[in-house]
Amino acid sequence: MNHIHSYYSPNDLYNKIIEGLNKIGKDLSMLTLDDLQPVDEFHIRGDTATKELITLSNFKPDMHIIDVGCGVGGSTRRLSHETGCSVTGIDLSNEYIDTAKRLTQLLNLQERVKFHATSALTLPFDDNSFDGAWSIQMNMNIEDKPAWLKEVYRVLKPGGRAILYEVCGNKNTPVYFPVPWAQDSSMSFLVPPEPFRDIITSAGFDIEVWNNKTELARNAFAHMTEPVGEPNLPELGVHLLVGNDILTKAYNLHRNLDEERVSLIETVAVKPVN
Ligand SMILES: C[S@@+](CC[C@H](N)C(=O)[O-])C[C@H]1O[C@@H](n2cnc3c(N)ncnc32)[C@H](O)[C@@H]1O
């Protein structure tokens, strides 16, 4: 797991984001969620997907939700801001969690949005402690998917819903590397949708919603062309999170989607009330 931790550990991330915001002329005292969106929603279709997931979640203001693999917390903050619920985000990366906390403070959302650096495989929370769970494009880095889902199941209250938005394999996997979540095959563990569904139900969940979002992902990346020469990167973008080869990674994701090497699944899994 160390190489995955290193991949998601850029130096001085918070200050780089602040520098980017300053360069594009944002007033830090009036910062909005949308201002941070280019860098803090690190998943396919960004805030558009997050908003769809929020609608799907039906999470309410009195709920406490866990965001497993929250990154720098863009969708964690948006979930809380738009529903009024409290959210605790966890992530393997200390650098991301430090950045997540500081950005949350900057937006004055720290009362309802908290973060901890920890692994999804050993959640430091009691059984039945959350009303809902939310996990966005983390499973690709998880080899032991049953252990991750058993942990999510354990910390959820009976009747609690887990919203998962995850990249899976497809009929022509293996994939071209690097991709946004992995520099090489040692960091990426994709299973096709049907085995993924089986792992979720084996952990004890009932599947309430199962949407294949691959076509939308394919359309979102359709414009990507093979990068040549020095990358022309924006001041604020996910290259700050995973490196300046992001355009190659996005281009490979486009090829992987086009050639049916990866797929994208959105699902709601429910912990039954026994
Ligand atoms: C593609 S990013 C998505 C981040 C965030 N969910 C978002 O949508 O912006 C994948 C995240 O999974 C985290 N991650 C990978 N393996 C993990 C593990 N075992 N436990 C917790 N987080 C992990 C990474 O540190 C990274 O932040």
Mean pLDDT of 218-222: 97
Confidence of residue 2 (pLDDT cuts 50, 70, 90): confident
Strand partners of residue 65: 87, 132
Query: Is 66 close to ligand 1, i.e. is its CB under 6 Å away?
Result: no
CA distance 37 to 229: 27
For ligand 1, whether the C-beta of 182 sits within 6 Å is: no
DSSP labels for 159-212?
EEEEEEEEEEE-TTPSPPS-BTTBSSGGG-----HHHHHHHHHHTTPEEEEEEE
256 lines ligand 1 (CB under 6 A): no
Say which residues have a Cβ less than 8 Å from residue 232's Cβ, sequence separation at least 6.
none
Distance 69 CA to ligand 1 centre (A): 4
| 71 Cα: distance to centroid of ligand 1 (angstroms) | 5
Per the CB < 8 A criterion, the answer to whether 244 and 231 are in contact is yes
CB-CB contact of 134 with 68 (8 Å): yes
* pLDDT the model gives residue 42: 97
Q: How far apart are CA 155 and CA 151, in angstroms?
A: 6
Give the neighbor-by-neighbor strand order of the sheet with 86-91.
113-117, 86-91, 64-68, 130-136, 156-169, 262-270, 206-212
**Residue-number span of the structural domain to which 126 is assigned:** 2-270
For residue range 194-208, list pLDDT tens digits in order.
999 999 999 999 999
Please state the atom number of ligand 1 nearest to the C-alpha of residue 120: 20
Contacts of 35 (CB under 8 A, 6+ apart): 21, 26
User: What span, in angstroms and rounded, lies between the C-alpha atoms of 59 and 263?
Assistant: 26
Quickly state the pLDDT bin for 231 (edges 50, 70, 90): confident
Query: What's the pLDDT tens digit per position in 237-257?
Result: 999 999 999 999 999 999 999
Residue 274 banded pLDDT, cuts 50, 70, 90 = confident
The rounded Å distance from CA 142 to ligand 1 centre is: 9
Contact 70 CB / ligand 1 (< 6 Å):
yes
Looking at every residue in the chain, the average pLDDT score rounds to 97
Structure token pair of residue 212: 């294949």
Per-residue pLDDT, averaged over 178-201, amounts to 98
Q: What is the pLDDT of residue 10?
A: 93
Domain count, the chain: 1
What's the CATH code of the domain at 32?
A: 3.40.50.150
Question: What pLDDT, on the 0 to 100 scale, is given for residue 1?
Answer: 72
Looking at ligand 1, which atom is closest to the CA of residue 69? 22
By most ligand atoms within 8 Å of CB, the mutation choice from 138, 145, 164 for ligand 1 is: 138
- Measured from the CB, is residue 96 less than 6 Å from ligand 1? yes
